[in-house]
Amino acid sequence: MSSSGLLPPPLIGVLAVQGDVREHIRVLEGLGTRVEAVRRPRELDGIRGLVIPGGESTTMDKLVRALELFEPLRALIAAGLPVYGSCAGMIMLADRIADCRADQQTLGGLDITVRRNAFGRQVDSFEEDIDMLGLDTPVHAVFIRAPWVEDIGADVEVLARVAGGPAAGRIVAVRQGHLLATSFHPEVTGDTRVHELFVEMVRERS
């Protein structure tokens, strides 16, 4: 405990091998957490939660393995470490990927099937206000070459779906126990409520 008698803010890691790392760090620091950019196994020591950012999931997979982070991360997830994955991070947490490269692996943990680039290429990126379970007002969601969830296991809770357009009803946010994932990028909108939810998950687990 600190001298004031209060618990210190939790230390949350952000996987920093590729993707929009700085944006997540900025939001988490703004919420009063301590943040560790994780590029090496030793930087996992002491973290109480982990964010896997958006980026390119095949590149992220290769780098995680090359940097010898793959097995330590899988072990931490299996042990109950709270993890939030956005966009490519959702793919990294999924147990199954539809139409992926034969050599692509995931960290797993979420009993879901995701489809990479489900909404289309970079030029098909879009924004939409969506309702998210547990939040009073819609989230302004930014989708950039985003996946969607095609199938969920019995223990997975659906938090949000696309409201309109040809993808109406597609699942874009889920939670399974200590794991949280979104297809969209809340770190770029100024709306911190998804990160607040994750920080609360970390505090509860700690």
Distance from chain centroid for Cα 90: 5
- Apex 183 CA angle, 86 and 180, nearest 5: 55
The question of whether 187 is a catalytic residue gets the answer yes
In the set 24, 178, 185, 195, the catalytic residue is 185
Please pick, among 87, 100, 178, 195, the residue that the annotation labels catalytic: 87
- Residue 103: CB atoms within 10 A of its CB come to 8
* Residue of 23, 178, 187, 195 marked catalytic: 187
Is residue 87 among the annotated active site residues? Answer: yes
Q: How far apart are CA 153 and CA 176, in angstroms?
A: 9
Residues involved in catalysis: 87, 185, 187
